[in-house]
Structure 1
Amino acid sequence: MQRERRPDEPDGREGVKNEEQCVQLEKEEGGEHNDEQAVVPAKLPPYSKAAAAQRLNEIPPQAPRGVHYSAPHLRTHPEGWRAKRHKKRKNLRISNSRHASAENLGMRLGFMPLTLITLTVLVVGTSVLVGLAAFRDATYHRYGQALTTLPDILPKDNLKLYDAQGELLYQSTSRGIQTTVPFSKISKHLVNAEVAIEDQSFWNNEGYDITGIVRAALENLLHGRVMGGGSTITQQLIKNAIVGNQTSMIRKLQEILLAPDVTRRFSKEEILSMYLNTIYYGEQAYGAEAAAFTYFGLQPKDGKTAAEQLDIAQAAMLAGIPSSPNARNPFKNFKVAFSRMKEILKQMRLQGYITHDEELQAIHEAQQPNFLKRGVIKNDALVASHFINYTLRELADELHVKVEDLPRSGLIVKTTLDYSKQKEILKIAQKHIRGMAAQHNMSNAAVVVLDPHTGAIRALLGNIDPADPQSGAFDVASQGLRQPGSTFKAFIYANAFNQGISPGNKVADTPLTVQMCCGLPPYQPKNYDLKFHGIVSYRYALQNSFNIPAVRLLMQTGVDESLNLAKKMGITEYNGTPNYTMVLGTLGVHLIDMTSAYGVFANKGVRVPPHAIDVALDARSGKPVLQYNKKGEQVISPQLAFVMTDVLSDNTSRIFEFGKCSALYLYSTSERECYAGNPGPVRPAAAKTGTSNDFRDNWTIGYTTDYVVGVWAGNNDNSPMVDVSGIDGAGPIWHDTMQLMEQGKPIRHFDGPPPGVEKRNVDGNVDWVITKH
């Protein structure tokens, strides 16, 4: 670039001041020029680039070496400019370095944290998603099966026992009451009230309500504590039945994850039905049916369930309880419950379920003094408590569970009990014991009535005073082991007749001494009347309960054989030592076993074990869980059963000991008329009495074609009675019980002899002989 000339610097052409002078000078030096060839520079502004370019020629030529050039040597740059330039560049480098450092620092402080934050968010987000996926999988793995079987894992109904006529006998209350009813049998008012207050979007949501959850979360944050969970009805069902009611975020997430699946698997009606049948309403009442009974005393009537009878006011009151069963219990906090009820009625009106007039009418109804009516379960345990306990033990044994597991087993059990007859039998036993108590020191009795053809227990009275706090709960009939006295002789005689001995064979009723083993003193049996009766037939000896002939018979036929026969016929348990004294009833046995064993004689030799349960149904499905269908077993021959029945029903043969109109004789008139020769129609019956040593136990066991009845009488503490035998103590109870059971039934005689039984002359007596089994 052309530098500017200093003012005092010569331009090489002295005296030439302008371009015109320059042109003139050129003409003089070079001669004359042709005007046409003369080049005249254009006049340009001195500041233009073209003018600057033309001035390049104004730079003087470089002087030859060694030649002094008169022009002064001017510096191109000012002095010290290089140092300044070096310093300037150094400073520039330093500045650039600082700028770069600042940029790097900005990168570290700006972009790097942002990158880290972004990566952190991505990692956390990915982890959350992975965690949620894992949590979802774990939830389904843990509870997936429960979703499929949700109706089966819901809390089950409380156990209910009904008698043979369908009358409610007992229901367990130890773990609350619950009765499942169909959705169609629940009041629509209760359905609407529950939906209105608990889950407004129930009929349309997927099982959860995000709006409700957010609203509940904000409310909880506002109050600083858990005010509500925003759970839908579906979520509450899942909480109660599957995941549990622990208050935690995990449980809430599990509800939300499972709710859509429940909604897909079950209809809205099914979900609401499961909810309304199991939700807790306080006062140990689970489900709508139990709540309707508990708070308003409603019971099934005219084909309608209690839950079906609920009106608007009652439904609104009940709908307010589940969210806080204790605080909103109308029996305890009516004001709180009433306030909640009004809130529910308002929601029902706003959502179009009821009108304003219906709302006001419901409020007015709830303010009446008789609005609430507590329902009371009447378990008539004092009448049938022993039968109930026997039934519970039988049910537990058959289902292979513990009795403690039965209260919420969800079973409806139809039993064999004739409840009306059970109550009458209790009165009969109490009446006779009162009459014997003072004079004979007799305080208690037990009665068992069986159908020998089916084994059904029609009555079981284990104690005449079930309310007695000391001994009333003890069931002598099925749990007590008492000495049966002469009633045990039936098994010894049956064993003998089975071996070919005839009832007509003769035996000596004379003094007898039996040598005992093992250092025991000799045994000398005695008769009840302390007399000897000479030569008698076995029929006569058995019917008059002579002891010595029975001991002789046992010595002839064998102790083990007779005991084994008794076991086959139904003696499941005994205490004592089997020996020759066994014929006198020295082994302790159960009354129900003895009664069942006599039923074998009544049922032509077929044993059907006693049972208290006809059928046990699942309350929800109505399907049988347990049904008695055991077939009887032929344990003795029909021939032997016939012979024993013929002997035990021979009233004539026992006149010597008992008289012709004893309690074992089922005449239809009074005792006075009977002895006067007018017994009226007589129902055939086979029976045997027994009295243990020291008069501690009285027994009478006998049967007709319809029933077998066993009666024990004595004292709870096993103390001896005073001068009383089986015919006096247990006999009258047996007689009246049998007459009660046979009321209205036609009189039927025992069947005749089956093939294999013949009448022959035996020892001068014509009697039956078993010729073939």
Structure 2
Amino acid sequence: MQTDKHLEEPSNTPGEASELAKAGNITQTQTRIPAKMPTHSPAAVAQRMNDVPERPAPGVNYLVPQQPIRPAGWRTRRHIKRKNLRQTIHNITRSDRIGTRALLPLAISIFSVFLVVMLIFVTVVGFINATHKKFGDKITTLEDVLPKDNTKIYDARGNLIFQSLDQGMQTSVPLDKISPHLQHAEIAIEDQYFYNNPGYDITGIARAAIENLTTKKVVSGGSTITQQLIKNAIVGNQATVLRKLQEIILAPDISRYYTKEQILQMYLNTTYYGERSYGVEAAAHSYFGLKSSPKQTAASQLDIAQSAMLAGIPSSPIARDPLLHPKAALTRMQEVLQQMYMQGYITAKERASAIEEAQNPTFLKPATFHNGIAPHFANYTLRELASDLHVKIADLSRAGLVVNTTLDLNLQNKVLKVAQKHIAEMARVHNMSNAAVVVLDHHTGGIRTLIGNIDPSNPKYGAFDVASQGYRQPGSSFKPFIYATAFDQGISPGDTVVDGPLTVTMCCGLPSYTPANYDHKFHGLVTWRYALQNSFNIPAVKLLLKTSVDSALHTAQSMGIKTYEGTPNYTMVLGSLSIHLLDNTAAYSTFANGGIRMAPHAINTVKDQDGHMIFQFKPKGTRVLRKETAFMITDVLSDNNSRIYEFGKCSSLVLYASTMQQCYAGKPGPIRVSAAKTGTSNDFRDNWTMGFTTDVTVGVWAGNNNNQPMVNVTGVDGAGPIWHDTMLLAERGQPLRAFPGPPKTLVKRTQNSGGKISTDWHFK
């Protein structure tokens, strides 16, 4: 394949073209001028890029004159300078090494001290915060956490009959009812800057520390009154540094939250004065026999000498007890008087007079405390109080309670003498050693008298309360409950029954039962009225057969027989179940109250030590018998003519104002209407007389503490005279009143039953 020749041959350069022209004898007639491109064309710009001169090669010396860069000798000067610098650095380094070795221990010591200070600071702050966290609530409620007064029980007239003594005596009184002399004495000897300090006294603490170090024993505590209050009520009395620090921490808080007067009042009412006496009121009575009254407290009666004596006791209640250590107490008293004189509370003459008074043999008049005024009633009240407040009896000792009761102490003391006199008369011949008496206001259920034992101080059995804790068989005094059940079922007291031989078949494999009358006779056809009043046994068993055991027992329980011992059966109509005298009396009071049961109670009101009402008894009766039934039982038991056969015309069941001899002589005097029933258990182990008037219900038990049989004595002879005299004492000053008339639902009707004509009450 052929190609164009000119395409295959390379083009010639200008030099080569010139040579060729010469060779070919070609004559160049004109000079070639290159074509010029536009100045701003891309090609021209690219071509000009090669026009930039190249950078000169480094190190090239230009042939032009040059000035020296550094002056002559600079190298020598630089060497000397560097040498000096190295020496200076060496010296500085050497000095640093020497300074570090000297200052490092000092720095470490300073840092250690700082750490210790910070540790102490953190510890102190933590301790303060922990103290406030632990006891902060008690500060705001200090008055509530202070030891409460011991519980006190008063009779209906405000006579103190009992106070809890097992945890000490305390009676809080307002500051304005505490002698100013005692206030001054306490401040003078315990805290002379009391009204100015913040609750603690640094100078006092320092002074006490110096004294303790000097004597090498604790002779002074340096505590202010505020600190002592904190110790007694909040932090405890452990003898430790931590406890003292806690006092100091809490004292300002107490001072901010309470006034000085409040602090002083709390202190004086709770500090310990020895002889089981907490607070000045108890101490004033314990040491000086001072007694409080509605118009003044015992603490308000303290004079200068007595106040100084008491003020010296709290710092050491045993060692400075004036009854135990009179010399030490007198020495301390003189110190108190000296401080009172130096601080301007008393004159020199008053100081001398007080010392002279204290040296008088009759200066101290120690009071005796005992709870033997009405011990059985007081114990019953404590049990009732614990039940009403739902607490344990042990929790009542320092509960600060003031209990006002239903007890008539004057009446009880008189009744006690009557019972003691009668038992003394019966003891030798009839082997009778004890009695118990209960007097109830059946309108309210209030217990006016509760004598559980006529010899409370007897170490063997005096503490036992037969009235409310002893189980004794009531004998025939249980019969009215069966008769009430029958009357409630429609039987009339005028209906008749045959008093004759009777044998009752018993259940459950028990032998048959054949009752007998007390006189071992049969009385033929008699009315229920006559049978009850003469306490015939056989008619009573027959009546129980009519009413059933369960119905009769239910009647007795609903009327007030709360508990019993024994097995209910046909023998219970004769008193085989053992019951409490108080329960039996309460059940009879239901008859007296027209069929309305008022539960017996000993407490009227319960207040705290500040007078706030905690509990108040509100009488609330419950109807357990129809009023017709209660009336018929009352009418029968008050029918003296119906019981002449058994008891005679002038028995102790008749409330005549004269003697029994005068009554039989036809001169009984005014006779107070009453309803009564006697009871005698098997073998003469128990004598009972139960009964009531329009005002009170009285129950009497007589017998022996060891349940030994008496000798030939029945209820009308054993318990009857005590009942009779007790009734007259309880009704003294009251007008003679008859029992209420019959309800309109009853009518008196005469009937002839088997030749026995009777006129008695019947339901319409």
Partner of residue 579, structure 1: 569
Could you tell me which of 115, 123, 142 is aligned with 2:115?
Answer: 123
1:623-661 CA deviation, whole Å, 9 max, x = no partner?
A: 122221141111112121111111111111111111111
User: Contact 2:227–2:248 (CA<8 Å) still a contact in 1?
Assistant: yes
Could you tell me which of 196, 199, 203 is aligned with 2:191?
Answer: 199
Could you tell me which of 475, 483, 494 is aligned with 2:484?
Answer: 494
C-alpha separation in 2, matches of 1:659 and 1:722: 21
Q: What is the CA distance between 1:378 and its match in structure 2?
A: 4.8
1:157-199 CA deviation, whole Å, 9 max, x = no partner?
A: 2222222122222223222221111100111111111111111
Secondary structure (helix, strand or coil) at the match of 2:716 reads coil
Partner of residue 645, structure 2: 656
C-alpha separation in 2, matches of 1:557 and 1:753: 24
Question: In the TM superposition, what are the counterparts of 1:243-322 in structure 2 within 5 Å?
Answer: 243-300=235-292, 303-322=295-314
Partner of residue 607, structure 2: 617
Q: What is the CA distance between 1:407 and its match in structure 2?
A: 2.6
User: Contact 1:193–1:319 (CA<8 Å) still a contact in 2?
Assistant: yes
C-alpha separation in 2, matches of 1:262 and 1:473: 47
Partner of residue 767, structure 1: 760
For structure 1, which segment, 718-727 or 124-133, has the greater mean C-alpha deviation from structure 2 after superposition?
Answer: 124-133
Q: What is the CA distance between 1:760 and its match in structure 2?
A: 2.6
C-alpha separation in 2, matches of 1:298 and 1:667: 45
Q: What is the CA distance between 1:403 and its match in structure 2?
A: 2.2
Secondary structure (helix, strand or coil) at the match of 1:464 reads coil
Partner of residue 432, structure 1: 422
C-alpha separation in 1, matches of 2:720 and 2:358: 59
- Relative to the length of structure 2, the TM-score reads 0.86
User: Contact 2:341–2:348 (CA<8 Å) still a contact in 1?
Assistant: yes
1:344-370 CA deviation, whole Å, 9 max, x = no partner?
A: 222222222122222222223223333
User: Contact 1:497–1:770 (CA<8 Å) still a contact in 2?
Assistant: no
Partner of residue 73, structure 1: none
Q: What is the CA distance between 1:680 and its match in structure 2?
A: 2.1
Partner of residue 446, structure 2: 456
- Relative to the length of structure 1, the TM-score reads 0.85
Could you tell me which of 722, 726, 729 is aligned with 1:740?
Answer: 729
1:383-424 CA deviation, whole Å, 9 max, x = no partner?
A: 522112211222222222222232322222222111122121
C-alpha separation in 2, matches of 1:94 and 1:575: 119
Secondary structure (helix, strand or coil) at the match of 1:156 reads coil
User: Contact 1:213–1:229 (CA<8 Å) still a contact in 2?
Assistant: yes
Could you tell me which of 193, 210, 217 is aligned with 2:209?
Answer: 217
1:508 aligns with 2:498: yes
User: Contact 1:498–1:770 (CA<8 Å) still a contact in 2?
Assistant: no
User: Contact 1:503–1:539 (CA<8 Å) still a contact in 2?
Assistant: yes
1:238 aligns with 2:227: no
1:485-516 CA deviation, whole Å, 9 max, x = no partner?
A: 01111110000000111111111111011111
What one-letter code is carried by the residue in structure 1 that aligns with 2:389? L
User: Contact 2:149–2:172 (CA<8 Å) still a contact in 1?
Assistant: yes
Q: What is the CA distance between 1:427 and its match in structure 2?
A: 1.6
What one-letter code is carried by the residue in structure 1 that aligns with 2:421? K
Partner of residue 635, structure 2: 646
User: Contact 1:485–1:585 (CA<8 Å) still a contact in 2?
Assistant: yes
C-alpha separation in 1, matches of 2:419 and 2:363: 44
Partner of residue 711, structure 2: 722
RMSD: 2.2
User: Contact 2:422–2:722 (CA<8 Å) still a contact in 1?
Assistant: yes
Secondary structure (helix, strand or coil) at the match of 2:699 reads strand
1:36-86 CA deviation, whole Å, 9 max, x = no partner?
A: xxxxxxxxxxxxxxxxxxxxxxxxxxxxxxxxxxxxxxxxxxxxxxxxx99
Q: What is the CA distance between 1:95 and its match in structure 2?
A: 11
Secondary structure (helix, strand or coil) at the match of 1:157 reads coil
Gaps of 5+ in 1: 1-84
Q: Calculate percent identity across the aligned residue pairs.
A: 61
User: Contact 2:506–2:512 (CA<8 Å) still a contact in 1?
Assistant: yes
For structure 1, which segment, 289-298 or 581-590, has the greater mean C-alpha deviation from structure 2 after superposition?
Answer: 289-298
1:367 to 1:452, Cα distance in 2 relative to 1, 3 A: same
User: Contact 2:452–2:466 (CA<8 Å) still a contact in 1?
Assistant: yes
What one-letter code is carried by the residue in structure 2 that aligns with 1:522? S
Count of equivalent residues: 681
Question: In the TM superposition, what are the counterparts of 1:450-489 in structure 2 within 5 Å?
Answer: 450-489=440-479
1:628 to 1:508, Cα distance in 2 relative to 1, 3 A: same
Could you tell me which of 99, 110, 117 is aligned with 1:106?
Answer: 99
Q: What is the CA distance between 1:446 and its match in structure 2?
A: 1.0
What one-letter code is carried by the residue in structure 1 that aligns with 2:174? P
Could you tell me which of 154, 157, 175 is aligned with 1:183?
Answer: 175
C-alpha separation in 2, matches of 1:597 and 1:648: 14
C-alpha separation in 1, matches of 2:322 and 2:417: 41
C-alpha separation in 2, matches of 1:223 and 1:468: 53
C-alpha separation in 2, matches of 1:450 and 1:745: 15
Q: What is the CA distance between 1:292 and its match in structure 2?
A: 1.6
C-alpha separation in 2, matches of 1:522 and 1:314: 78
User: Contact 2:445–2:619 (CA<8 Å) still a contact in 1?
Assistant: no
Q: What is the CA distance between 1:302 and its match in structure 2?
A: 8.3
C-alpha separation in 2, matches of 1:585 and 1:105: 114
Partner of residue 690, structure 1: 679
1:669 aligns with 2:662: no
Partner of residue 69, structure 2: none
1:429 to 1:197, Cα distance in 2 relative to 1, 3 A: same
Partner of residue 15, structure 1: none
1:547-587 CA deviation, whole Å, 9 max, x = no partner?
A: 11111111111100110111111111101100110111100
1:417-462 CA deviation, whole Å, 9 max, x = no partner?
A: 1112212111211222222222222221111111111111111111
Secondary structure (helix, strand or coil) at the match of 1:412 reads strand
C-alpha separation in 1, matches of 2:639 and 2:497: 19
C-alpha separation in 2, matches of 1:217 and 1:194: 21
Partner of residue 713, structure 1: 702
C-alpha separation in 1, matches of 2:331 and 2:722: 60
C-alpha separation in 1, matches of 2:495 and 2:724: 30
1:703-735 CA deviation, whole Å, 9 max, x = no partner?
A: 000110101111111111222211111111111
Q: What is the CA distance between 1:96 and its match in structure 2?
A: 8.0
1:321-374 CA deviation, whole Å, 9 max, x = no partner?
A: 111112222223333222222222222222221222222222232233332222
User: Contact 2:205–2:222 (CA<8 Å) still a contact in 1?
Assistant: yes
C-alpha separation in 1, matches of 2:294 and 2:702: 45
1:671 to 1:336, Cα distance in 2 relative to 1, 3 A: closer
Q: What is the CA distance between 1:765 and its match in structure 2?
A: 2.4
Partner of residue 750, structure 1: 739
What one-letter code is carried by the residue in structure 2 that aligns with 1:766? T
1:370 to 1:678, Cα distance in 2 relative to 1, 3 A: closer
1:744 to 1:341, Cα distance in 2 relative to 1, 3 A: same
User: Contact 1:449–1:709 (CA<8 Å) still a contact in 2?
Assistant: yes
Q: What is the CA distance between 1:99 and its match in structure 2?
A: 7.7
For structure 1, which segment, 744-753 or 323-332, has the greater mean C-alpha deviation from structure 2 after superposition?
Answer: 323-332
C-alpha separation in 1, matches of 2:293 and 2:596: 44
C-alpha separation in 2, matches of 1:119 and 1:769: 109
C-alpha separation in 2, matches of 1:179 and 1:313: 22
Secondary structure (helix, strand or coil) at the match of 1:721 reads coil
For structure 1, which segment, 129-138 or 744-753, has the greater mean C-alpha deviation from structure 2 after superposition?
Answer: 129-138
User: Contact 2:605–2:615 (CA<8 Å) still a contact in 1?
Assistant: yes
1:561 aligns with 2:551: yes
Secondary structure (helix, strand or coil) at the match of 2:296 reads coil
C-alpha separation in 2, matches of 1:199 and 1:550: 80
Q: What is the CA distance between 1:301 and its match in structure 2?
A: 5.8
C-alpha separation in 2, matches of 1:423 and 1:525: 41
C-alpha separation in 2, matches of 1:375 and 1:437: 36
C-alpha separation in 2, matches of 1:323 and 1:431: 51
Partner of residue 8, structure 2: none
Q: What is the CA distance between 1:102 and its match in structure 2?
A: 6.2
